[in-house]
Amino acid sequence: MIEGSLVALVTPMTADNELDWDSLHKVVEWHLEQGTNSIVAVGTSGESATLSMAEHFEVIAKVVDQVNGRVPVIAGTGANSTREAIELTEAAKERGADGCLSVTPYYNKPTQEGLYQHFKTIAGAVAIPQILYNVPGRTGVDMANDTVLRLSEVPNIVGIKDATGDVDRARDLLARVASDFAVYSGDDLTALELILAGGKGNISVTANVLPADVATMCALALAGKADEARAINDRLMPLNKALFLESNPIPVKWAMARMGLIAAGIRLPLTPLAEKFHEPLVAAMKEAGALPANG
């Protein structure tokens, strides 16, 4: 079971929005040096919705090859077509991913039974560990805890990324699922409380900017050192909030470009961070320690 900080990795792009393989290599290596526990490639933060199939597969392959077993690599393989999700999941397995992250089908608004059958069918088709991903704020569909509980009984469905931000709901799920089913936060604002309640880690946007701090905070929380973890979390909180001034990954890619980690490329329909948010994001980055206070 993966524990700790799982970075929701951005996909670096050049100024003309082509994939930036050199920056991807540098950022992945930086995460390994900084103590990130797992890399989640081509998820929401990785702009999977605007990558071609070929690009999607190539990002997975390059990350897997570079990581070379040093940490687990999870590939985003969700789709609102069950057949397409199976194709993506098969491709991730073929390219050596350690597991897959599969988002609830967006736009077509399946019922709870439809969600159950969707994920059960993918799991039955591809023998690879699979993590469910519930983010109703983006998909327009919310997977109930009862449905997650049913799916947790499918052998290769091993966990869920809960991006609802509802810690009470996560506590209810944790009380009902088996101990070998991992509940991860998908919300940096509430991740600490979810881990302290029994969650296994945080699939984090903020880790793109301050990977060592997020990894340390998660490790302390998992060890039950709540006060020490909370001290780091309190410092990170303004940044956690600022990284959602506009839709993810608009702010985080701008922040990383400001740090010199990547170029500023982002694909339509997403646009670069609005100028009115530059100053508050820089202020939050300085407060969290991502930029020098006088820089």
Residues marked as catalytic: 133, 161
Q: Mention every residue, 6+ apart, whose C-beta is less than 8 A from residue 227.
A: none
Q: Is 95 helix (H, G, I), strand (E, B) or coil?
A: coil
What are 289's two structure tokens?
Answer: 């320690």
Phi, psi of 147 (to 5 degrees): -70, -40
CA angle (235 as vertex; 233, 241 as ends), nearest 5: 80
**12 neighbors 23 (Cβ within 8 angstroms):** yes
* Pairing state between β 4-8 and 99-103: unpaired
Q: Quick one: the chain helix, strand, coil %, rounded to 5? A: 50, 15, 40
- Among residues 243, 223, 221, 246, the alpha carbon closest in space to that of 231 is found at 221
Helix (H) or strand (E) holding 286: helix 278-288
